[in-house]
Amino acid sequence: YQEYERRLEGLLSQARSRKPYPDDHLRLAYIGVPPVFPGDFYPYIERNGARVVFNEIQRQFAMPVPSRSLAEQYCNYTYPYSISGRVRDILPQLRRRRVDGVIHYVQAFCHRGIGDIIFRDAINLPILTLEGNNDFMLNQHLRTRVEAFIDMLKRRSGARGGVPAKSRT
């Protein structure tokens, strides 16, 4: 636990001292299973003028709603249960964080991919679905899709770099 505490303090110190993101960066949400390629995924997005301001599952694992017991906390997780619970959890976060677009990651051959249809119906924002399996690096195919998605969002919004406010839900 001491090593964990040391690393946590280092990360918090780094977060306090870094410059804020520019206002013109796109604000993205990341929903679905945590990526198998996180090492280069987030930096790649940031180099292309966007940032992830909402991570669905990572937020759930952070236990954002206090509970009386660990068992109750696990029952509060939305991901392993119904898609409607996830939608109810995600939509307010998208509004609160003024998200411009959503990246939905699904594992290849996983039934969670079916939820993509429901998300596209429920979320009134552009959605890019990425499917992965065991490629632990962001391959060129995925890089091109992410870059094209960010470019589309930038073109759609004009100078600010985000979806027009009236389109946000």
Amino acid identity for residue 78 in this structure: T
Q: What is the pLDDT of residue 120?
A: 94
Cβ proximity of 102 and 119 under 8 Å: yes
pLDDT at 146 exceeding the cut of 90? yes
The predicted pLDDT at position 46 comes to 92
Q: Which fold has domain 25-160?
A: Rossmann fold (3.40.50)
Q: Which residue has the higher pLDDT, 67 or 79?
A: 67
Question: pLDDT band for position 112 (50/70/90)?
Answer: low
User: 1-5, 86-90, 132-136, 161-165: which has the minimum mean pLDDT?
Assistant: 161-165
Q: At what angle do helices 83-96 and 115-122 cross, to 10 degrees?
A: 40
Q: Which residue has the tokens 């389109």?
A: 167
| Residues of the chain above pLDDT 70, percent | 87
Q: How far apart are CA 115 and CA 72, in angstroms?
A: 25
Answer yes or no: is pLDDT of 148 > 90.
Answer: yes
Q: What is the pLDDT of residue 76?
A: 75
Token pair 């073109």 is at which residue? Answer: 155
For residue 157, give Cα distances in angstroms to 49, 135, 152, 167: 13, 32, 9, 10
- Range scoring the smallest mean pLDDT among 9-13, 27-31, 107-111, 144-148: 107-111
Q: Which residue has the higher pLDDT, 35 or 47?
A: 47
> What is the chain's mean pLDDT, rounded?
83
Domain boundaries, the chain: 25-160
Percentage above 90 pLDDT, the chain: 40
Band of residue 167 on the pLDDT scale cut at 50, 70, 90? very low
